[in-house]
């Protein structure tokens, strides 16, 4: 079991809304060699949950164990094993993708030879080789997203946390992204991603956690969810769970 999340909660406060639970008692697990998808509409709490697990936000309560390590108690150790792709690309406009990857790779403690190799592989797999030495300011949204993903996993982490990885990608790019994620699964990585696209969830995820208003409504593979709700299409499954 790679990642186990137990009763994770995060409370926010906004003047207009008052207090509310962005993540409310969320529990799920992600196994090695599995793609787990958090599926829900915008504002459901997916990004918050992922950020908490990635140690960027502090949880209000709950636990997360990654390969036996308590993520919140030992964040430094946990970060070595995680890679997080945030929902915003956040690239440095005046640097090239190669420089960005080298920077983050070395900050994560990789040696130069390994790093060069890894950059080559990532660029080839994600198909941005010809942009490796162009400044990020001029890249298209899709290429930026690919570079972002590469940056998130340049240090080859065990657990990949991807927040809406297909944002801004066209059909072809999305396809190659999906292939990339599936290859990672073959290598035995645990992949936790979030999405609001039913299509993507159906095609990509081994197990799906349906989340709405901060709460997990159901967890299971597509088959299990079909059995639970009696519906076939994921949209119908989702709607019936929310309305219940």
Partner 1 sequence: MRLEPVKLVFFKEFVEAVRDYRTVIPMVFMSLALGPLLVLILPKIALIQGKAIIMDTYRVAQVGDSQLVAAEVKNAPDFKFVDIGSMSPQLAVDKGLVDAAIVIPSNFDQSLESNFKKVDKVDIVYNGTRSKSGMARLRLSMWWDGLNQRFLQRRIKHAGINIEQPPNVAMKEISPESPFGVTTPFMQLMLAAILMMMALMGVVYPALDAITGERERQTLEPLLMTHAERSELFAGKLLTVASTSYISVLLTLLSFFVCQFLQPWIYGQHTFLQDSFPFKAVFPWPCFLFTGLAMLPLCVTLAASALMFSSYAKTIQQGQGYFLPLMLLGLVPLLVVLLGNVHLNASVCAVPFLNCIVAFNDVLSGYIDFFWLIVSTLISVAFCFLAILLVSPQLAREDLLFGVTDSPARRFAANDYRRELLFLCALIFLLMFYGSQVLVLNYHLWGVALTQILIVLMPALIFVRYWLRLPLTTVIKVSAPRGGLATFFSMILMVPLTITTASACVYLQSQLLPGTDALNEVMAKTLGIGSEPLMLLIFVVGILPGICEEILFRGVVLSFLPSKYSQTRLVIIVGTLFGAFHMSILRFLPTAAMGALLTFVRLRCGSIWPAMILHCLHNSFSVVLTRYMSSDFSSGGAVYFFAGGLAIGLLGLCLFIRATR
Binding site for partner 1 (CB under 8 A): 12-13, 18-19, 51, 54-58, 76, 79-80, 82-84, 86, 88, 90-92, 94-95, 99, 103-104, 106-109, 135, 151-152
Q: Which two tokens stand for residue 7?
A: 């009763």
Measured CA distances, 84 to 148, 185, 214 (Å):
10, 16, 20
Q: For partner 1, which is the closer residue by CB, 79 or 189?
A: 79
Q: For partner 1, which is the closer residue by CB, 112 or 221?
A: 112
For the chain, the helix, strand and coil percentages under 3-state DSSP, each to the nearest 5: 40, 25, 30
- In a 10 Å sphere around its CB, with 0-12 CB exposed, 13-18 middle and 19+ buried, how is residue 107 labelled? exposed
Please state the closest distance from residue 88 (CB atom) to partner 1, in A. 4
Q: For partner 1, which is the closer residue by CB, 2 or 208?
A: 2
- In a 10 Å sphere around its CB, with 0-12 CB exposed, 13-18 middle and 19+ buried, how is residue 164 labelled? buried
Q: Helix, strand, or coil here: 23?
A: strand
CA-wise closest residue to 198 among 145, 240, 236:
236
Q: For partner 1, which is the closer residue by CB, 135 or 215?
A: 135
CA-wise closest residue to 171 among 207, 197, 208, 148:
197
Q: For partner 1, which is the closer residue by CB, 69 or 95?
A: 95
Q: For partner 1, which is the closer residue by CB, 123 or 153?
A: 153
Please state the closest distance from residue 189 (CB atom) to partner 1, in A. 17
Please state the closest distance from residue 241 (CB atom) to partner 1, in A. 28
Q: Which two tokens stand for residue 160?
A: 């990949």
Please state the closest distance from residue 62 (CB atom) to partner 1, in A. 16
CB atoms within 10 A of CB 186: 8
Pairing of strands 215-220, 3-14: unpaired
Q: Which two tokens stand for residue 171?
A: 């059909």
Please state the closest distance from residue 51 (CB atom) to partner 1, in A. 8
Please state the closest distance from residue 117 (CB atom) to partner 1, in A. 19
């Amino acid at each position: 079991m790679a990642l186990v999340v137990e009763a994770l909660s995060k409370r926010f406060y906004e003047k207009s809304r008052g207090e509310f639970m962005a993540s409310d008692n969320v529990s799920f697990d992600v196994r090695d060699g599995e793609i787990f998808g958090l599926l829900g509409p915008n504002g459901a709490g997916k990004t918050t949950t992922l950020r908490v697990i990635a140690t960027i936000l502090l949880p209000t309560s709950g636990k997360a164990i990654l390969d036996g390590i308590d993520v919140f108690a030992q964040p430094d150790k946990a970060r070595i094993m995680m890679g997080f792709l945030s929902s915003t690309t956040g690239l440095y406009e005046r640097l090239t993708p190669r420089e960005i990857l080298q920077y983050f790779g070395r900050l994560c403690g990789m040696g130069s030879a390994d790093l060069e190799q890894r950059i080559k592989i990532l660029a080839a797999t994600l198909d941005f080789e010809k942009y490796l030495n162009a400044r990020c300011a001029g890249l298209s949204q899709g290429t930026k997203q690919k570079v972002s993903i590469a940056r998130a996993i340049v240090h080859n982490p065990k657990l990949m946390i991807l927040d809406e990885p297909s944002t801004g990608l066209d059909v072809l790019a999305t396809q190659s992204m999906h292939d990339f994620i599936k290859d990672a699964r073959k290598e035995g990585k645990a992949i936790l991603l979030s999405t609001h696209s039913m299509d993507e969830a159906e095609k990509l995820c081994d197990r799906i956690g349906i989340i709405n208003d901060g709460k997990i409504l159901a967890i299971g593979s597509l088959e299990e969810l079909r059995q639970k709700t009696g519906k076939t299409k994921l949209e119908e499954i989702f709607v019936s769970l929310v309305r219940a």
